[in-house]
Structure 1
Amino acid sequence: MDSSIIQNKFLELYDKQPSLVRSPGRVNLIGEHTDYNEGFVLPAAINKEMIFAVAPNDHSRCRIYSYDMRENVDVDPTAFQPSKYTWANYILGVIDQLQKQGLMVKGFDCVFGGDIPKGAGISSSAALECGLTTALNHIFEFGLDKQSIAKISQKAENEYVGVQCGIMDQFANMFGQRHQVIKLDCRSLEYELIPFKIDGYKIVLLDTNISHSLASSEYNVRRQQCEEGVKILKEQGLEVSSLRDVSLDMLTRFRTMMDAVVYRRCRYVIEENKRVEEACRLLEQDDLPAFGQKMYESHEGLSKAYEVSCEELDFLVDQTRDNDSVLGARMMGGGFGGCTINLVKEEALASMTMDIEQEYQQQFRRELKVYIGDIVNGTEVMSND
């Protein structure tokens, strides 16, 4: 998005020069629903972003305007209640967390907007949280490092918004590097940057243009089911703190102690962690076709074992299976809607997307949105006061 649009709106509303921050969305190549199980993920920052224009004010109030929604909130940073606007609660969650860290958030003015599609699974929420936290860190000189900003942003979503997300989205948002993917250990937060050499191919996001109401509630249910599996294993005397510590042999040994659904959920997470490690080795060997097959395996697990896919996502993945121009495809994000992520041969991009748009329209009577992704740097301050 052109940052001047947001900057000009800020000048119109508040008549002063702001600081500017850009905050990207993210893709996740493989490793879905593993982050809150202390596992491995392989995300990257993507060229869909939010722009924030922010400056301190003399009013002891936080005045925030959403350019895209044409809505605003005006709150006292020392005493506020949840907002009727969904987007505002992510903002309030950040202010709440900063206060809990002992950091004084004074009055500020903010305009933000961007081109991250909502409900597409590209994590507009993390861009909103990390972008604002970075902006406030900048204008109030809190001295927070990237990891602290990621953790504060995650807690804002967990504790104020009530979505029990893991750390992946916020970490990718802050630590993204151009042309590289991040192999992140969600337990230790140790990470490795792996070059993503896809010359001749493009990351293509196919947006179902749906967001089933199940997404948020079922996300929390999946987390509880995984925790239930770990609890059962602990009761059998195993020294495990998360599914990260559990092997398939261990899980199978105590299968009869578990509900069949809990067993399937746990098995998927263990297998997905292994897939991430195998996928990283394949990237280091420049074996993109084999990497693509791991994406298909991931989708199969998400659809059949973890059951967070939906008819539209499965349809889009199935349409690519016999297409030689597509190396791999899978659903991405929390599930029940959003995008599939695809690795598509650049020369076949136009024909592939045109064909699949027509097939999707015919099947579901709904428009398919297509986004071409490039991997970019994470959240950063664009200009100073």
Structure 2
Amino acid sequence: MYDSAQLRSMHQARFGVDPAIFVAPGRVNIIGEHTDYAEGFVMPAAIDFATLAAISPRTDGKVVIYSQNFDEQSEFDAAALPAERRDHWSDYPLGVMAILAGEGHKIPALSLTLWGDVPVASGLSSSAAIEVSTAIAVLSLIGAEYPMPVLARLCQRSENEFVGSSCGIMDQFISANAAEDHALLLDCRDLSFKLAPIPENVALVIANTMVKHAVTGGEYTSRRAQVEEAAAVIARHRPEVHFLRDANLDDLAKYGSEMSSLALKRARHVITENTRTVAAAEALINHDLKELGRLMAEAHVSYSKDFEASCEEADAMVELAQDLPGLIGARLTGGGFGGCTVNLVERQHAREFSAALGQRYAERTGITPQIHICHASGGAHPVQESIQAVR
């Protein structure tokens, strides 16, 4: 859990000024993997892990960014901010500033302190939390404002165009637009969304396999290329198909022989995952938790076998949860290739479930996992807004 008072004191000690503080949450995706960049459907929820951004103005023409997590400070000329990534943690806040500058905003001299407890490279969107918290902090400092869906798109662009990750819109959108105690069914084509209440008796148990992944790596990029290959093949016969959102299983039966075997498998996952995600939202809205659990189980098999984005440890974590008390549904969440599983668990059994799952996983793999009992949090917002003049 974040501590804004501690961050305020840290910023004051380093920069000698009381900052404004903003928070943006990480997220867990309940269902809908690798569908966002196919203009499909996703159903994430924000979680009570977050990034805090403390910001204050400067008078020396510098942009100074301090990361408490890395215990490292970077300084730049505000009038000549880097235009390209440096493969450094500062790429994420700098990318946001670069996109805002491209939108016509002058980035002033500023001090920015970042602190977060979203586990890095675990599929819980630590990068999106940094981007969104930075964006709302900088916009507040310069007196500008965007609707949250637009802000989410700008943050996605920063990760695509500056950081170099081909992520879709989901992570930034849920961080900016989440509602407490709700999942959010997002249509990634037009950014319309529907809230689905999570019952009070349901806990989100997030189990970190401790196997790391990075979405800028080759596996994620190759999966996206295969999805796009499948869409291009179908589009030769059906020009109205620009993304797999517009395709169906009949298309794969007719035209699958014209695409690589891997593209066919990836497309089958994306097409069926879109259907599952819409059905899962309806199940949640209708309090049909048994159906929701069935859809989550089906989604994990598809993600593991057709999309091949799981790993031995993640498959083990899902398998070991199946007969534990209180389980509603379990699957690997996030970009894949490690990271976390999401487990919907009856709240009365959440602690017992977590302890048993951790013990089983450690015995199976020799790895001690991190397991967290979470609830769905609200989206990005200011914590304390007063910005005092610098010394």
TM-score clears 0.5: yes
1:316 matched to which residue of 2? 317
Deviation at 1:214, TM superposition (A): 8.0
Q: Distance in 1 between matches of 2:186 and 2:215?
A: 27
Alignment of 1:257-336 (within 5 A): 257-336=258-337
Alignment of 1:182-193 (within 5 A): 182-193=184-195
Describe the SS at the equivalent of 1:105. Answer: coil
> Residue type matched to 2:355 in 1?
M
Q: Distance in 1 between matches of 2:66 and 2:294?
A: 44
1:7 matched to which residue of 2? 8
Residue 135 of structure 1 pairs with residue 154 of structure 2: no
Deviation at 1:284, TM superposition (A): 2.1
Describe the SS at the equivalent of 2:211. Answer: strand
Q: Distance in 2 between matches of 1:264 and 1:4?
A: 49
Moved over 4 A (4+): 82-85, 212-215
Q: Distance in 1 between matches of 2:171 and 2:105?
A: 23
Q: Distance in 1 between matches of 2:86 and 2:361?
A: 34
Select 2:120's aligned residue among 118, 126, 132.
118
2:159 matched to which residue of 1? 157
Q: Distance in 1 between matches of 2:11 and 2:30?
A: 36
Post-superposition CA distance 1:300-354 (Å, at most 9, x none):
0000000000000000000122334211000000011110000112232233222
Describe the SS at the equivalent of 2:31. Answer: coil
Evaluate the alpha carbon distance shift between residue 25 and residue 237 of structure 1 in structure 2; reply closer, same or farther with a 3 A threshold: closer
Identity of aligned residues (%): 34
- Mark the runs of 5 or more structure 1 residues left unpaired by the alignment: none
2:389 matched to which residue of 1? none
Equivalences, count: 384
Residue 346 of structure 1 pairs with residue 347 of structure 2: yes
Post-superposition CA distance 1:16-37 (Å, at most 9, x none):
1111101111111111110010
Q: Distance in 1 between matches of 2:138 and 2:284?
A: 37
Deviation at 1:143, TM superposition (A): 2.3
Greater CA drift, 186-195 or 231-240: 231-240
8 Å contact from structure 1 (residues 215, 336) kept in 2? no
Q: Distance in 2 between matches of 1:215 and 1:133?
A: 21
Give the CA RMSD over aligned residues: 1.5
Q: Distance in 2 between matches of 1:214 and 1:191?
A: 25
Q: Distance in 1 between matches of 2:178 and 2:147?
A: 14
Select 1:108's aligned residue among 110, 119, 133.
110
Q: Distance in 2 between matches of 1:166 and 1:52?
A: 23
Select 1:95's aligned residue among 97, 104, 119.
97
Q: Distance in 1 between matches of 2:357 and 2:192?
A: 39
8 Å contact from structure 2 (residues 320, 361) kept in 1? no
8 Å contact from structure 1 (residues 215, 335) kept in 2? no
Describe the SS at the equivalent of 2:74. Answer: strand
Post-superposition CA distance 1:233-279 (Å, at most 9, x none):
12234421100110111221111111111011001100000001111
Deviation at 1:85, TM superposition (A): 5.8
8 Å contact from structure 1 (residues 22, 49) kept in 2? yes
2:51 matched to which residue of 1? 50
Greater CA drift, 218-227 or 164-173: 218-227
2:255 matched to which residue of 1? 254
1:178 matched to which residue of 2? 180
Deviation at 1:97, TM superposition (A): 0.5
Q: Distance in 2 between matches of 1:378 and 1:155?
A: 19
8 Å contact from structure 1 (residues 121, 333) kept in 2? yes
| TM-score, normalization by structure 1 | 0.96
Post-superposition CA distance 1:70-95 (Å, at most 9, x none):
01110123324456563211111111
8 Å contact from structure 1 (residues 168, 186) kept in 2? yes
| TM-score, normalization by structure 2 | 0.95
8 Å contact from structure 1 (residues 181, 195) kept in 2? yes
Describe the SS at the equivalent of 1:333. Answer: coil
2:147 matched to which residue of 1? 145
Select 2:197's aligned residue among 195, 198, 201.
195
Post-superposition CA distance 1:156-197 (Å, at most 9, x none):
100111110000000000110111111110000111112122
Q: Distance in 1 between matches of 2:171 and 2:159?
A: 11
Evaluate the alpha carbon distance shift between residue 83 and residue 242 of structure 1 in structure 2; reply closer, same or farther with a 3 A threshold: closer
Describe the SS at the equivalent of 2:339. Answer: strand
Q: Distance in 1 between matches of 2:126 and 2:79?
A: 26
Q: Distance in 2 between matches of 1:36 and 1:354?
A: 36
Alignment of 1:8-47 (within 5 A): 8-47=9-48
Q: Distance in 1 between matches of 2:213 and 2:136?
A: 31
- Mark the runs of 5 or more structure 2 residues left unpaired by the alignment: 387-391
Deviation at 1:212, TM superposition (A): 4.2
8 Å contact from structure 2 (residues 61, 79) kept in 1? no
Describe the SS at the equivalent of 1:337. Answer: coil
Describe the SS at the equivalent of 1:42. Answer: strand
1:374 matched to which residue of 2? 375
Q: Distance in 1 between matches of 2:283 and 2:295?
A: 10
Residue 216 of structure 1 pairs with residue 217 of structure 2: yes
Post-superposition CA distance 1:122-163 (Å, at most 9, x none):
101000000000001111112222122101110110011111
Q: Distance in 2 between matches of 1:347 and 1:183?
A: 26
Evaluate the alpha carbon distance shift between residue 383 and residue 214 of structure 1 in structure 2; reply closer, same or farther with a 3 A threshold: closer
